[in-house]
Every structure is written in structure tokens, then in C-alpha cells.
Structure 1
């Protein structure tokens, strides 16, 4: 529809081109004003923004790196800040113009206004092209370079097995505590976590302290200094020592310490390690908790027997004699050493907390204190009536049946380096045995596996289903049929996002 000017409206001629226009303070048409005045003058039509191809973050000068999606509000704000001359005009609208993602070009369409003459405002639309230049951020530079970590956390435990570190690894994976690590190095006696920032190392130390009683020491090393600007570059090291008491350990303590814990017996069994150590008197079912502050104050609570000292016994009789406490019940258990089964009638009657767990014919694991070589001054000071001949720890299961079973679950693991020294053959065999003991602990203790993520092994489930029909008609005996298994409803479906980031729950774990 053609525009027909109102006949009653008074028109004037443009002083430049003579076109009839409504009256305005400039006495010129819009085209003539634009030909004379360019309000976009001084605003660059091209600019450069820096982008790190490793972490995909953009540089916001002077030294801030931001994670922005394409055509997002954050990226638009970052692009507009590159145009310093926008402060001299009024920004009306801004938006992205679509470009190929691989072109490394970002176009922004801007609409601005500015007063050019007295009471005359001109509006203009134009495009600004940004070139995305690759530049490695400082964090990625440290990751790519060698020996450029800023902070290191050294985790150690003075024990002869690695069950604690296997469990600690699962806790780190569950809570995604390794997200900021540059590298994880497996060394003798523990792990080393390298970080690009000191704050991330401090966060790891706090996480470890919330999972298990620890004590830590920090040190710093001067790398370089500038006397002109009074600035220095340091490397920080945090040495974290885990409490040397593990689940199923037999601990001994002075009577003074035992009295401070509620007059518990000096000889007790560790049932759980979380934010504190839980112990039980296997003769009376009295329980107590040992906090990290209590242990590190004197360090007089000593583990005298650990998992490598466990021996097998055959249960002959179980006689309940006392009350129950949770899953434990007091009983007099008659057992016989496995070497004596079928050869003689030598039996041992011992007071135990496993009364409602054991039955006739079961296999039980325990510490034989009569044949054990215990080197402890605190233990030597105990009276003879305080030291039993045998301490039963947990129910055992037949090895043959267990080896024939196929686990339908699996665990995830951290990407760790072996360090400078490769493990010897016997150390590697011991590590495999410790990992197998850790997997069995998970199968036997539902409370222990509540704090970690277990994933379905679909290939193992398929193989188990394929051979189940063959085993029904086979000659498999009854031995070990009660070996515990993890139900499928407790397992998670393994899911990876962005090529390897594990999907973790937000539940807090307290057991170890």
C-alpha cells in the first residue's frame, strides 16, 4: 500500500536532496542524516575473543576464564564488553547472527541510538564480527606441562594392606572429589593427589577428614620470587595420615584409655570406621566410639591383629547366654581348628558376639591369640583373665563355592599412575588379594556398601543366566550355598556423560 501523506500536514523540503519530509530540527531526511553522520564511528566492526580448546572456556579480561555456551547470555555479555565505545551510544537491542559452529566466527547484530543534532536522535543497526582465537588457559597449561602442580595431597596409612584405599577410592568416585585433580599417583603406602590450585587441595583434605579420622601437616616450598613486585610463587604439600585402625582389627588400649571410653574392656574389636572408630567388647557387647581427637592425642590404641592374621575355625556348637544388641548376640561358641577337624576332639569354647550369626557346621574366622606373636607392651600388661584364647571376628564361607560364583556387579576406578617405581611381583599379588578381600567385605556387609556405588555388569549377568540351567543338573554340592550375594536392586546402571564423567549420587557415606 502506497503511503499518501496527509494533505493537512505541512511538509518541507530536505536541505540536501529536496525531498518533501515532515518538519524536523535538522531539516534533513533520514538518508541524508545517515550520509553525513555515522553514529557507529569509533565502534569496531571486528574484534577478537580468546577461547581455550581444552576446557572450552572464554577469556574475560584481564584474567578470568568463563564457561559459556554458544549464543548464550553470558557469551553475549562477554562480546559486548569487548566494545568499549558502546558507552557513548544507547544500546537498544543485541542478538546473535547464526554462523557455522566450526567457522570460529561469532556475529552480533546491534541496534543503537544517538543524538546527532539538537533534539534529533538517529537509530542505526549494524553487525560486529568476532574472531575466536585459540589460547590455552593457565589451568590447562599446568595440566599439559610436567611438574607444574600448585598443591599436592599425600595420603598415607601405616597398615600392611590396601583395603582402606580401595574403599576410599570408591568414596572419592561417589562424591566426585577427584574432579579438580591434575594427576593421581599411586605410591608405596598410599596415593598422591596433584592440584592446580591450593584451594582444591584444602578441599580434598577436608573431604578425607569427613570420611575417616585423619591428621594433616602442611608445608610450602618457594619456587620463585620477584623483588620488584614483592610477589612469590610457592608449592604447597599436605601430608594426610589415616588412622591405622581398620574394620575387623583387634585393638588393645591402656586401662586408663578404656575407662575414658565408658569402662570398656582393654581388648576390643573394631566393627566400623567412619568419622569415628566403632569398637565392641566381644564378651559383653558393650560398644564405644573413638574419635580422631581421642586417638591422635596419645596414640595408645594399638591394633595388634589385622585381616592377614585371620584363621579358619569349624563351629561345633552355639549356646546363647546373653542379650542381643542390634545384629549381635552374646553366646558361648564351641569351635575347632580346621587342622584338627576329623583328627582329634580338641575344641575351644569362647565367648563371642556372633551368637545369632553362627550355627552348627559354619565356618568362622578369628584370631588365635594362643599361637599369635603379638609385640605390644600394652598387651603384655593385661591380666590373663582379660586375654581370651580366641577372638571370633566374622562368619566365613567356602572358597570353592565362592570361586565358582560369577559376580554380577563391578566397581569403577580412578585413573592412577604407578609412579617411578613399578610394583614387584609379590606386591602385585598382595594387591590383588587385598582387592578380593575388599570385594568380599562388600558382599558380606550391607552397611559397608551403602556408602559406595555398585554398578551392574551386564556381560556377567548374561553369562550367569546362560550357565544357570547347566548348574541345576550338575554335581554341585551344598557346600557354601549360603555365600552372600549382592541383590540386583542395589546395583546402578553405569552411565557416562561427556566421555567419562561418572554419574554419582549425593548421599554421604560414613562407613569403612
Structure 2
């Protein structure tokens, strides 16, 4: 007790009641060996308050008693060392003392302050703004994510919460425990977020605090909507063209674009007479589309730019960019006559070849020797040429006999066939074909009839003159000019019975740049429908081609398609007669239901407003 008395006299406190203080605190002081110096010092202060000693809030007094606690603890340790009587606190006993700045009774902690005092002394939300602003475009309903990205975020969604938290500076200095929205009226243009954070204070004390941040929703027009409002809807355009008499290539290209979602950045798509145009607000988006087109079709690029405005003060200019992409005018099943120089470059292949596939290269095959070659787009544009015949020139033949030859290459088999025109069976012709594995006697095939053919083509004239100078006459099996060339198998009987399809394709929502298509030029519309029907039949008959596009189930089709009508073309269907008297071909290709996608509910069958993607199938519906 001498230590306590000395301390009291040192700080000038009246210790007249020291005897009562001694009787009430003796047990606590003797049992202080298991506590820290700080706790012992605080006990002394608490005991002084109990006996009526005026201690006050002097920091000097507290520091003195902390030193006294250290001395008492050391003395108690010595008492234990010499066998003096010491006791441990009963299990579960909690030591308490008064706070530094108030009279609240608290348990020992690292700061020796109550929670209220710590909160009054330390604000862990300091540096975190309590108000912020988010920018919202009311036209496209997107929020601005700095610096210049506009994102879609629904009310009280995780995307909106993430955007709001990114607007707050200082969150990286604290630990975010919880965050959530507080409901506000939608028309109030206010967003309230309740945050719970933690931070370490006073070396080892963890303080948790809850506060609310209010966001003001400020309207701001995004760049895309600004251009639409100012009728500056595009900054770059991609014009895709192909100089052919049909649009089957663009039907195919359209399905590839849809499957890979390559049109996601377009602001508008317009259909031209011989191609299609894509419009973009950024030049980089147009270049991205060009890169995709070059990966799927062989093409030639040209770039042009137009000055829109210029700022003489900052030396900046605003341009519109136009990219012209011309696709090689060679399509699947086309008959071509190669220039002599190009034929030698392609491995000394025969000039008369058939195009059997078009990708980023043009695949050619000699139907009489099965020799094939791949022609790149750059190679074509160095020696451009046109097709001799295309799909509209196909004629139907009847297979009379097939003699297989012992020569195969991939899926192609060389054979000699005897055929006759389906409309005139009185005269037969012999020819070699690369499709021998597909034909049996009694089948039908589509091909090009070259007897009495007269082509306005320089490469063809050069080829004929070379044959005549070498002594060849109009031969078809001796290495000269053939009478006909078969390019694919046909199924006229099954086509007559199959009056509809149970699948559909998804088409791009595009505008007609040529307004006359909607008006008086009905012939062009009919021709386009015929081209689309031929394209659908190519998908049915070629499984490899079909596997590269998405086919969707058509829920509008009933089980009975007896009353359905389909477009018949002279190039594809040329046999007439009673449908009940003919049997459909056994190998007619049928599309398995497993190949069809059943997410038609997410797609509009008909877009009456002209927005979004539409679903289309055969033109008979």
C-alpha cells in the first residue's frame, strides 16, 4: 500500500480515507499477478472512485497510476517468488474499469477506451465521399463507367452496385464487409448504398462502422445516342459486294455472321442490290468486321475517307471511313476455265475445273482426274476470271449406268457414267465424274450441258484453240472437250413430296437500300426467293455446310405439310408427272431433329416493327 500512498501524495490527492481504501482493495491488489500493468493501474483508479477520491480526467494521473500498476505487479511477483499467499481470479470473472473521457465502465482493450470514445476519436470513413454522381443515358438506358464505357445495369443489380462502388475513392484503404441498396423512389433520381467497413485502429483494435452513400443520377447522352440525335449515325462503313447474278453467297455469309455474333457492334445494316452494308460508330469496329470477313471468304479491300469537319485550333479532323470489300465472284458448284498461267501455278491442273467449296480460299477440283487445288484471294486478283456456268445453268440428267474406276480422293470417287437428259432419254452421253460414289443407276444428277455451248470467255476460247491445235476434236473421254460435267446429285421425286420444312433460319434485320425492290420490281423479289430456296436445299443436301450454321425448330409447322407450297425452280426441279406415281429417293437427306436448336422462344418469328433479328424459313410460308 506504500506505493499507492506515495503515488497519491505525489499527485496531490487527499488520502485521508486510505484505511478504508486499503480494506476494500487489499484482495484485488494481492490477486493482481495475473493481470497486465495497465489493468492494475485502472483498478487503482476505479477503487479511488469507489471510496470517494476525486481523481478527475487528468492524463498525468492516469500515467502515474499505470506506473504504480507496474510496480504493484512486480511486487506481487516477488511475493509469489518467496511463497507469499497469492490467489487467482475465479473462472469467468471479468475485470472492468472507467473510460478515459467518460464514466462508462468498460473491459480492458488495446486502446483502453470505450467504443463510443473510439468512434468519437477515430472516423474510419474519413476520406470516403458520402455523396457521388453517376451518369445515366435515358435513351439507351446505360450508365457511364469511367472513362468512356457505357454499360447496361438494371436497378439494384450487382452490375449497378459494382459501378457505384468504383465511384468511391478511399475504399482501398479499408476492408469492405458488406454493401447493399436502400430502396428509393425511382423518380427521385437517387441511389442509396449502405456500406459496412472495418479498419484497424490503435495498433490492434478493429473498428467496424456502417454508413450510407447517396448517389445522384445525372442524365447524360452517350456518344452513340448523340450521333443518332445529330443524324451522324455512323463513322465507318463496310460495303461487301460480289459481282454475280445471285445472292446465295450473302445468304451463307449472313448465317456465319449470326452464328458468331459478328454484327454486335453495328448501328445499321442495309441490303444493296449486289451486296450488303454494315455501319459502325467506331473505325475499330469496322476493322474488326473486315478481319472476320477475311477469315471466312476471299476478298479484296479498298479504303476511302471523307473529311467531315476540322478544328484549326487543335489541328484535329473528323473523318468518315468507307471500306469496300469485294468477294471473289466464284461460288460453289460453278464451272470455271482457268487461265493457262494460273492453271500451271496451281500444280498444272486442268483449266476446266469445278468449285466445290468456298472458304477463305477457293477449292477447285478436276472432275476427270480428281486433281484438286486451293486458290487464295490474292492469287485470284492477280489473274481475275469469271465463271463459265453457275447454278442457274444447271440441267438435270438421268443416270443410266455407272462404271467405277479404282481411284479415290477423300470423299470423291472417279467413275464413268452413262447419262441422258431427263427431258430427252433418246440420246445418251458418256462422261467421267468425281461423284461416282454418290450415283447409282436410276438416280438423277445436276450438271452443265456443254454440247453446242458458246461462251463469251477469253480463257475458254484459248482452251478450245489449244485443243484444236493439238489435234483433239470434240472428245469427252479422250482428254478433249467433254459433253457434260456433273456437279451434284438431285432428288426430284422427294422434292415433290416434301412440301415444307420443320426448321428455320435466323436472318439479320436489315433495310433495303434499293427502294424499288419493295415497289414495282417484283421479278427481282421472285428471283431472290428462288435463290434463297436453292440455298436452303444446299443446306439440306450438304451436311458439312449445314454443320457451320444454326438451324432452329419451327413451331408453326404442323405434322401434316400436305397443304404447304414451296418454290420450284427450273434449275432444280424439272420432272413433271403424277406425284402419287413416283417414289421418293431412299437416300434423300433428312435433317435430324437433334441438329435443330429449340430456343425459338427467345427469338421473334416475325419482326413487325422492323427491329431486331427475324426468323425465316422456306419461302412457302
2:256 to 165, 171, 177: 171
Show the counterpart of 1:250: 335
1:295 paired with 2:380, answer yes
1:451 to 525, 530, 548: 548
Query: Quick check: which has more Rg, 1 or 2?
Result: 2
- Find the aligned partners of 1:485 and 1:370 in 2 and give their Cα distance: 35
Deviates most, 449-458 or 380-389: 380-389
- Find the aligned partners of 1:292 and 1:440 in 2 and give their Cα distance: 27
Uncovered stretches (5+) of structure 1, i.e. residues with no partner: 468-473, 503-512
For 2:288, what is the secondary structure of its paired residue? helix
In structure 2, the CA distance between the partners of 1:74 and 1:440, relative to structure 1 (3 Å rule), is closer
2:226 to 141, 148, 151: 141
2:522 to 395, 401, 425: 425
For 1:432-443, list aligned pairs within 5 A: 432-443=529-540
For 1:303-314, list aligned pairs within 5 A: 303-314=387-398
Contact conserved, 1:312 with 1:364, CA < 8 A, in 2?
yes
For 2:423, what is the secondary structure of its paired residue? helix
2:427 to 346, 360, 366: 346
In structure 2, the CA distance between the partners of 1:132 and 1:315, relative to structure 1 (3 Å rule), is same
**Alpha-carbon shift at residue 327 of structure 1 (Å):** 2.9
1:338-372 superposed Cα distances (whole Å, 9 cap, x missing partner): 3323xxx3222222222222222222211112243
1:486 paired with 2:591, answer yes
For 1:267-286, list aligned pairs within 5 A: 267-286=352-371
- Find the aligned partners of 1:249 and 1:179 in 2 and give their Cα distance: 33
Show the counterpart of 1:471: none
In structure 2, the CA distance between the partners of 1:211 and 1:81, relative to structure 1 (3 Å rule), is closer
**Alpha-carbon shift at residue 434 of structure 1 (Å):** 0.1
Tell me which protein shows more strand as a share of its residues: 1
1:123-150 superposed Cα distances (whole Å, 9 cap, x missing partner): 8643221132343311233356534201
1:175-219 superposed Cα distances (whole Å, 9 cap, x missing partner): 010111111000110000001111111111011110011111111
Tell me which protein shows more helix as a share of its residues: 2
1:379 paired with 2:460, answer yes
1:406 paired with 2:441, answer no
Give aligned pairs, total: 487
For 1:206-245, list aligned pairs within 5 A: 206-245=291-330
- Find the aligned partners of 1:88 and 1:428 in 2 and give their Cα distance: 63
Uncovered stretches (5+) of structure 2, i.e. residues with no partner: 1-38, 47-54, 59-99, 473-479, 565-577, 606-611, 614-621
In structure 2, the CA distance between the partners of 1:101 and 1:450, relative to structure 1 (3 Å rule), is farther
For 2:454, what is the secondary structure of its paired residue? coil
Deviates most, 355-364 or 105-114: 105-114
Deviates most, 308-317 or 31-40: 31-40
TM-score under structure 2 length normalisation:
0.69
**Alpha-carbon shift at residue 39 of structure 1 (Å):** 8.4
In structure 2, the CA distance between the partners of 1:325 and 1:233, relative to structure 1 (3 Å rule), is same
2:411 to 307, 327, 331: 327
- Find the aligned partners of 2:364 and 2:295 in 1 and give their Cα distance: 19
1:79 to 131, 152, 164: 164
Contact conserved, 1:270 with 1:278, CA < 8 A, in 2?
yes
- Find the aligned partners of 2:522 and 2:381 in 1 and give their Cα distance: 35
- Find the aligned partners of 1:30 and 1:14 in 2 and give their Cα distance: 18
In structure 2, the CA distance between the partners of 1:109 and 1:438, relative to structure 1 (3 Å rule), is same
For 1:462, what is the secondary structure of its paired residue? coil
**Alpha-carbon shift at residue 403 of structure 1 (Å):** 5.8
Deviates most, 142-151 or 424-433: 142-151
1:476 paired with 2:580, answer yes
Show the counterpart of 2:237: 152
TM-score under structure 1 length normalisation:
0.82
- Find the aligned partners of 2:176 and 2:404 in 1 and give their Cα distance: 85
1:358 paired with 2:452, answer no
Contact conserved, 1:311 with 1:366, CA < 8 A, in 2?
yes
Contact conserved, 1:13 with 1:21, CA < 8 A, in 2?
no
Deviates most, 207-216 or 138-147: 138-147
- Find the aligned partners of 1:233 and 1:162 in 2 and give their Cα distance: 35
For 2:581, what is the secondary structure of its paired residue? coil
Deviates most, 123-132 or 349-358: 123-132
Show the counterpart of 1:390: 484
**Alpha-carbon shift at residue 229 of structure 1 (Å):** 1.6
For 1:427, what is the secondary structure of its paired residue? helix
Show the counterpart of 2:450: 369
- What's the Cα RMSD here? 3.9
For 2:396, what is the secondary structure of its paired residue? strand
For 1:201, what is the secondary structure of its paired residue? helix
**Alpha-carbon shift at residue 499 of structure 1 (Å):** 8.2
Show the counterpart of 2:133: 48
- Find the aligned partners of 1:96 and 1:148 in 2 and give their Cα distance: 38
1:199 to 253, 259, 284: 284
For 1:498-509, list aligned pairs within 5 A: none
- Find the aligned partners of 1:389 and 1:133 in 2 and give their Cα distance: 76
- Find the aligned partners of 1:219 and 1:461 in 2 and give their Cα distance: 51
Deviates most, 189-198 or 229-238: 229-238
